[in-house]
Amino acid sequence: MSSNPITEQITSRVEEQTGDDTRPVLTYLGPAGTYSHQAAFDRFAKTVHYRALNTISDVFHSVGPAVHLALLPQENSIFGIVTETYDLLRSSDVGESRWVRGAVTLPIQHCLVVRRGKTLRDIKKVLSHEQALGQCQRFLAANLPEAQQVSVASTAAAAEVVSKQPDAAADCAAICSKICLQLFADLELLHEGIQNEHQNFTRFYILANHPTTPLPNTRYDGRGEFNALIRLELQQKVDELNASQDSSHPTVTDLLAALCLPAIRIDRRPSAQHELFGSVYLVEVFDNEASNASRPSQRVGEEDVVTGPLPPWKERILDGIARVVARGGRADLLGTW
């Protein structure tokens, strides 16, 4: 089996760490200061080591023995699903060596930051990624109509320029995520939530190297609810289904009925096997029958780990998968949380 250069790089960096720090490593789509970084920090705070990577694929493939966790952008409430993430979820690695262990939702809050002590009256230029500039036009028109808008590579890059470049300190502002205030020195928040659209949210999946990897900074809240992500595929090709008069061949509706679990979202991607119009369905189910009242647990750090017999919710999920297979489809459990 060929080695993965991303995994090797991460392993090398982890091995360089010294001392007794045993916090797990979490990778995310960089650079530092992105909204992926903000979402990860909001969820895990200082309980993990953060590693920024260049692409979603790099983040996905980094998960292994040295990297316990990763954050993958899944969907934006305005722009829809992140197709690269869903294409990676088609991989047989998911459910075998990588698992979805949770979800994080981040409200996109654009912030206007300046060098410490500066005010709106001082600002002559506003730096940010072109999309962020476009998403804040109403605020800029009302409050900084004369300021020049300068597009840079990322929102984090804008914050770094204002923080580190002397010629930008006097009259420049950056539109960026709030976490940039912790990453770059001498920055001050002038306004938070300056975007035009206030119903802009991005959801992320937490990927892990084991199906029961404990998530740091997690506390059991006692709710009898549970989620799972299941990958469904028809064994029969679409053109064969269209040509067949045999009603025994299952359809997607048949597989969902066999699963018999409340589906809260269904997403489709083309088959990874390059079959003509073949499909992979990613089905997120929500088991509201699960009762945690009788589940014995032990505290491990800040995570409750279930012990004892297989809990009822897991039995229902596995029973549903078995029914899909019996009906003639394929179903893989990609993760639970």
Structural domain contains residue 218: no
Structural domain contains residue 138: yes
Lowest mean pLDDT segment, chosen from 50-64, 216-230, 283-297: 283-297
Q: Are residues 115 and 99 in the same domain?
A: no
Does the pLDDT at position 210 exceed 70? yes
Report the CATH number at residue 280: 3.30.70.260
Q: Are residues 74 and 138 in the same domain?
A: no
Q: Is the pTM of this model over 0.75?
A: yes
Structural domain contains residue 36: yes
Average of per-residue pLDDT values in the chain? 85
The tens digit of pLDDT for each residue in 292-312 reads 444 444 333 333 343 445 568
8 A C-beta contact, residue 23 and residue 55: no
Q: Which residue has the tokens 């409200």?
A: 107
Write down the pLDDT at residue 277: 73
Distant-in-sequence, close-in-space partners of 165: CB < 8 Å, separation ≥ 6:
none
Write down the pLDDT at residue 214: 84
Write down the pLDDT at residue 287: 80
Report the CATH number at residue 64: 3.40.190.10
Q: Are residues 233 and 275 in the same domain?
A: yes
**Residue 127 structural domain:** 111-192
Give the Cα separation of 139 and 251 in Å (integer): 50
Give the Cα separation of 91 and 254 in Å (integer): 24
Q: What is the mean pLDDT of residues 202-214?
A: 94
Q: Regarding predicted confidence, which is higher, 249 or 174?
A: 174
Q: Are residues 269 and 318 in the same domain?
A: yes
Beta bridge partners of 33: none
Beta bridge partners of 135: none
The tens digit of pLDDT for each residue in 131-152 reads 899 999 999 999 999 999 999 9
pLDDT band, residue 36 (cuts 50/70/90): very high
Q: Are residues 188 and 235 in the same domain?
A: no
Beta bridge partners of 329: 234
Write out the two tokens for 216: 């740091």
Q: Are residues 24 and 97 in the same domain?
A: yes
